[in-house]
Amino acid sequence: MTLLDSDVWSKKLFSDGWKDAIREQPVIEPATGAQLGTVGLATAEDVARAAARAAEAQQSWAATSPQQRAAVLRRAGELFTEHAAEIEDWLVREAGSVRAKAGFEVQLALGECFECAGLPTHPQGEVLTSEDARWSLARRRPAGVVSVIAPFNFPLILGLRSVAPALALGNAVLLKPDPRTAISGGVVIARVFEEAGLPAGVLHLLPGDGSVGQAVVEAPEVRVVSFTGSTPVGRAIGERAGRLLKRAHLELGGNNALVVLPGADVQKAASAGAFGSYLHQGQICMTTGRHIVHESLLDEYTTALTAKAEALPVGDPAREDVALGPLIDRRQLERVHGIVTDSVAAGATLAAGGEIVGAGYRATVLTGLTTDMPAWREEIFGPVAPVIGFTTLEEAARIVNDCEFGLSVGILGDVGTAMKLADRIDSGKIHINQQTVDDEPNAPFGGVKASGTGSRFGGAAANVEAFTETQWVTVRPDIADYPF
């Protein structure tokens, strides 16, 4: 039997073992519309039962030795390695990933597990000074039950990057993947941890619609909500969690800028810009959504970027050697095309692309924009590269910061000049001489402004902060004297 044999998961939920679901949904291949299987969908009642069971199972999981928890995480990483090809196939067919992107995502997943295997034995507290004759300690304790809500674009890693550290630190998890990618973003994770020896009841897989999302936020047993997705939905989750006095870690949208400084190598810059805008059809929160190019290089850069865009084939990544696969569904495809056509109608120039090809969209370059056009202001979530010029460093900083988002910025060219610009930019991440899309398991990840609540993902410090609570403990050699 393979790891993802459909006999195990078809029409079922993973909640204290695999159980028949009351509701179900077809698993659709976006490139062809073909049905790949049938996934079980959760209800609000399923969430309530799962949360109660998770709270019970979490107590014994938290009491498990750090070495045992670390072993589960290490074994999970080994399973991702052993079943990489099978998992990549699902990412290609269900999520529309090109093969290279699918391989990159699996590598991130196994790296996340190995990185998180160190968390159980990571220092989790500090010794404090005290005016009294006692020991004073601040120790980190598991938060309890954590809800993880993950999106469709990088479904495996964007769920796992919260699931793995939360489990490693002694929490139980309710995982709600996007129902469009419930296999690669849900069943894969459940099966890996099941095979890795995670005790029953600690991890629950609950795909579903907005009512299920609301239930995993509102369940009384849940103390932390980790959400990756759109800014409007993130705002709603943050508001609801705040009223319930729960912590919400929100990694939201982005309209990320790539700044090309005077004197930069234009061909290399255009290559970086194309990768940043067109990887996974631009369906990444870190996608390069704004190309800001010094006026001395603007024409040359636009010509080079246009040539690269026109050379990128679009098609079905499961059956063709293509650079761009399908967008996740027809609604998103039409939204992207609408933003492009509205911007052209407003005066922008279409230098390349702007065309629907089957279930995909050609790599697109827009020039002649003003900063109030939709292709410049909005997070497109498609393979579109809007290009605009700048004259001074001050103007570049102003254009970068004139955006509701603040997730990732790339700066290409002279390092000293880039450092000066970086100091003027509001962004969760800045990459000098790289494009905007980058992630590593040991690096903090997050954004500012409408991009979220800061770096709550990646690296030991961020993970411990995200998925534990601080408890103050004091110890005296004998009972203290009191005046009463």
- List active site positions: 251, 285
**Whole-number Å distance between alpha carbons of 66 and 127:** 20
Between strands 288-294 and 384-390, the pairing is parallel
Distance of alpha carbon 172 from alpha carbon 200, whole angstroms: 10
**CB–CB of 351/366 below 8 Å?**
yes
